[in-house]
Structure 1
Amino acid sequence: MLLRIRVRLPDRPGSLGQVARTLGAAGADVVQMAVLERDNGRAMDDFTVAWPTGADFERLAGGSARCRGWRSSGSGRPPSRRAPSRTRP
């Protein structure tokens, strides 16, 4: 299942990497990331992640709670998109 997670974090080198590592450690696979705004040393970013079916969301919440300086402002399913069809030669 795809989830969209919005985070506000310090706008400094390594912040995005920390978020991506935390998401990966929780079992999420980052499939898209977008910077929404940057202002006064803070940034707001959206991460779209593939989350394993049946996996416990507490793993994700627990991982974000341990990160210093950033917080999740919500998560939800992104608008449904049809995956591009793949053809085999």
Structure 2
Amino acid sequence: MRTLRFLVAGILVCLCSFATAADRPTVGVVEFKNETNAYWFSGGVGWDLANMLTNELVGTGVFRVVERSMLESVLAEQNLA
């Protein structure tokens, strides 16, 4: 009977650890800026790079990606804390 209790307790601990591991970190991607004066980095390249990175992060399924329009509100909320 005692080993059954330990077995049930161990299974519950394992299940709880899987539930917390399912929480994904939240990230946001902003536009890349050219501070090198590279000639090829003009126009919408910064937004294109940000979009490609966003697509790759979402595709991994590891991260929860926040839209750029919501980044300012998230940053403002963090400054309040």
**Same topology, TM > 0.5:** no
Larger radius of gyration: 2
Q: Going by fraction, where is strand more abundant, 1 or 2? A: 1
Q: Going by fraction, where is helix more abundant, 1 or 2? A: 2
Q: Greater RCO between the two (CA within 8 Å, min separation 6)?
A: 1
